[in-house]
Homo-oligomer: A and B are copies of this chain.
Amino acid sequence: MSNQGQGCCEPLSEEPLAKERAEEMATVFKALGDPVRLRLFSMIASKPSGEVCVCDLTPAFDLSQPTISHHLKLLRQAGLVDSERRGTWVYYRARPETADRMAALLASVSADRASA
């Protein structure tokens, strides 16, 4: 079910996005707009346990550890993931509300077109 509570999610197909709202949303899309970050987010979101250790993410790429760390930071700032330190390791988990908001926004487009 869609979680259109709390002043969330005006659908794209009903009225155009206000300028301010567009900037918020664009930030999230921009975070997903890099192949490395999209794969990172994918790896995090696809874990049945709900979380992944950075130590499992870093070696999956041909990039330096600081670069991965930087991408994770952008995902976090966009509200797509959360991180928690437990002992030596840091775990990242997806924030479904954010993904859901974006999904709802995009889904409204095709829904509207289909019914028209």
Contacts and interface: CB of A to CB of B under 8 A. Distances in A.
A37 B16 CA distance: 12
A45 interface: yes
A105 to B, nearest CB: 8
A29 B26 contact: no
A26 B39 CA distance: 9
Oligomer: number of copies: 2
A53 interface: no
Interface residues of chain A: helix, strand, loop or mixed (majority): helix
A55 interface: no
B16 A35 contact: no
Contact of A45 (B12, B27, B39, B99): B12
18 contacts: A12-B41, A12-B42, A12-B99, A13-B46, A17-B42, A19-B39, A23-B35, A26-B35, A29-B29, A29-B32, A30-B34, A45-B108, A48-B116, A96-B114, A99-B109, A100-B109, A100-B110, A102-B106
